[in-house]
Amino acid sequence: MDEIVKAALKKWPNVPHCYGWLALDARGQWYMRDERIQAAGPFPRVKGSRIQHDKLLAFIERNYLHDDAGCWFFQNGPQRVYVQLEAAPYVWRIGASPPWPVTAHTGDEAHTESAWLDEHGRLFLHTELGFGIVHTLDMASAADAVEQGHWRPEAIAFGELPRRFGYQLAPAQGAASARV
């Protein structure tokens, strides 16, 4: 977490949390969802405005955390902005050749602990950082890793993933815990 964010938390400890305004899709893209967009429909059917500003994206990703209830959020100064997830808390990019390095959409490197395949053919990886979906552009590399025995995916229903790996797709007020 950035030092300026820590300082803001100390200065203003009781700022209300924010829900529904920020979302992460299955390709690692961040979206702002104002009241008009929220009223137009649920995420990801109605995504909102994609965030494209490099410095803002870097700030969000440096301050992207989760609470004890498995709700992921962006700590924006003193305000916790909870994130709606399309598929999982992380989106993994996979290197094109052995040993198929794994990097999160946040830029953090990870080491795979297990692999999972849902009923839609989407590949998910559990790592020491957490749980995430493999980016669609990297499925050819991921398939090579599976074919060569580097990962051995287990079948699982998509609906079971949040419970099994301890995250919430759509945090709601009252569901999140008070502290990280």
Check if the beta carbon of residue 24 is closer than 8 Å to that of residue 85. yes
The rounded distance, in Å, linking the Cα atoms of 57 and 140 is 27
Contact 139, 123 (CB under 8 A): yes
Range of the domain at 128: 90-165
Considering the domain architecture, whether residues 124 and 72 belong to the same structural domain is answered as: no
**CA 100 → CA 78, 133, 143, 145, distances in Å?**
38, 15, 10, 7
Per-residue pLDDT of the chain (180 residues; tens, 9 = 90+): 677 766 665 665 676 889 999 999 999 999 999 999 999 999 999 999 999 999 999 999 999 999 999 999 999 888 899 999 999 999 999 999 999 999 999 999 999 999 999 999 999 999 999 999 999 999 999 999 999 999 999 999 999 999 999 999 999 865 554 433
pLDDT of residue 96: 95
Is residue 170 one of the residues assigned to a domain?
Answer: no
* Run of H or E residues at 49: strand 49-50
Q: How many domains does the chain have?
A: 2
Q: How far is CA 109 from CA 6, 102, 104, in A?
A: 24, 6, 6
Shared domain check, 103 and 65: no
**pLDDT for position 179:** 38
What CATH number does residue 44 fall under? Answer: 3.10.540
Same domain, 136 and 65: no
pTM of the model: 0.88
Kindly state whether residues 68 and 13 are assigned to the same domain: yes
Q: What is the pLDDT of residues 6-22, one digit of tens each?
A: 666 566 567 688 999 99
- The DSSP element (H or E) to which 115 belongs, if any, is strand 112-117
* Domain presence at residue 127: yes
> How much is the pLDDT for 143?
97
Helix (H) or strand (E) holding 70: none
Residue 172 lies in a domain: no
Among candidate residues 58, 85, 112, the one where a domain is terminated: 85
Q: Classify the phi-psi angles of 175: left when phi > 0, otherwise alpha if psi is within -120 to 50, otherwise beta.
A: alpha
Cα 17 to Cα 60, 73, 123, 128, 156, distances in angstroms: 16, 10, 32, 27, 33
Domain end residue (candidates: 85, 112, 145): 85
Residue 180 in domain: no
Cβ neighbours of residue 97 under 8 Å, at least 6 residues apart? 141, 144
Whether 11 and 78 map to the same domain: the answer is: yes
Q: Where a domain ends, among 68, 85, 102?
A: 85
Calculate Rg over the CA atoms of the chain.
17
